[in-house]
Amino acid sequence: MHLVINTFGATLQKDNGLFVVSTPEGKQTFPPDMVKSISISKAARITSDAILLAIKHQVEVLFVNDLGNPEGRVWSVQYGSISNIRKAQVNFLYSKEALEWVKELIFYKMDHQVALLLSMQPEKEVIPVHNIFKSAINSIEDYKRKVSEVQGEFISDVAPSIRGWEGAAGKRYFQAIAHLMPESYAFESRDRRPARDPFNALLNYAYGILYGKIEGSLIKAGIDPYVGIFHRDDYNRPALVFDIIEKYRTWMDYVVIQLCMAEAFPLESFDQENAESALLLGPLAKRILIQSVNDYLGEVIVLNGKTLSRMSHIDEDMHRLAKFFIKNAPQ
């Protein structure tokens, strides 16, 4: 269970060993052993007793902004306590193996973009949209070939080229997806900050949820989320989260595409002052999207021979990554 506290004036507190959520409508109680994470917006409050209860049961507490992006977190001191993992992570950053790791990461992302487009490609009779999808798929495969052929001593030598091809592939990918959207969810291009249409606003918020979950998985695995390999290490940015999320972006793409195609959000569930200002998700839109994302990440699937929820697969991947750093870092 994932507790999302975003009702204005809501309070999360502890009572008799239980989490208690108080809102103007009443109170609800939740056993801590059933809660996997807690997300709190700026409109809500949490008591120190509730925070300590979460720490005791290793329940992640995440504070998020209006765009769904994590602004801060509370976690157990038991997380990430093995310093040799972080040392190996830094050493790996300057190894020759880092370039191959990045190339595999981008391959994975592009492969899943192609797979998603193939799963949603209209029939041949639906012209010209079928051909638009076919052209986008061919372009992504071509950019993947360019990435596979790039050579360099270190990742810093070729990172700008890889980013350029990755960005160009993403542009073709979203150009194709745009042709699936109903009129009320139409968009011209990927719009990150600020989003001015429902599709991009929903996708930004879904990515924000995923950022928080991946950062938590990295911390629990003992990996420093701020030491990036592919993305730049800008001040106060968890650069490795931006690396790792590339593997899982298409999961959020799929959720948002399906919701938009089903026109699951009343237009009044979005807030926008004027056509030039950012379009924000209102409480109803957040509730629908957060529940959909959590349901999708909680779905059990077979991956790498293991039957786990998608979120558990992410946790497993991060523990494997920690072992990978230790094994492959220069001594």
Model confidence at 201, in pLDDT bands (50, 70, 90)? Answer: very high
Look at residue 157 and tell me whether its pLDDT is greater than 90: no
Positive or negative torsion for Cα 114, 115, 120, 123: positive
Per the listing, tokens 């399906």 go with 258
Question: Is pLDDT larger for residue 20 or for residue 77?
Answer: 20
d(CA 103, CA 141): 14
Residue type for position 29: T
Task: Write the pLDDT tens digit of every residue in 2-37.
Answer: 888 888 889 999 999 999 999 888 899 999 999 988
* pLDDT tier at 235, thresholds 50, 70, 90: low
Which of 81 and 182 is assigned the larger pLDDT?
182
Task: Give one word for 260, left, alpha or beta, with left for phi > 0 and alpha for psi -120 to 50.
Answer: alpha
> What is the chain's Cα-based Rg?
21
Cis previous bond, 194, omega within 30: yes
**Hey, how many other C-beta atoms are within 10 angstroms of the C-beta on 287?**
15
- 209 pLDDT higher than 90: yes
What are the tens digits of pLDDT across the range 101-129? 999 999 999 999 999 999 999 998 888 99
- Say what percent of the chain tops pLDDT 70: 96
* Each residue's pLDDT tens digit, 246-301: 999 999 999 999 999 999 999 899 988 876 778 999 989 999 999 999 999 999 99
Which band of pLDDT confidence, cut at 50, 70 and 90, is reported for residue 173?
very high
The stretch 155-167 carries a mean pLDDT of: 92
Q: Which of 21-25, 84-88, 234-238 has the lowest mean pLDDT?
A: 234-238
Arithmetic mean of pLDDT over the chain: 90
**What was the pLDDT predicted at 78?**
66
DSSP label at residue 27 = E
As a residue count, the chain comes to 331
The whole-number average pLDDT for the span 201-222 is 94
C-beta atoms surrounding 279 within 10 Å: 20
Q: Quick one: average pLDDT of 204-222?
A: 93
Least trusted range by pLDDT, from 164-168, 301-305, 306-310:
301-305
68 vs 40, more confident = 40
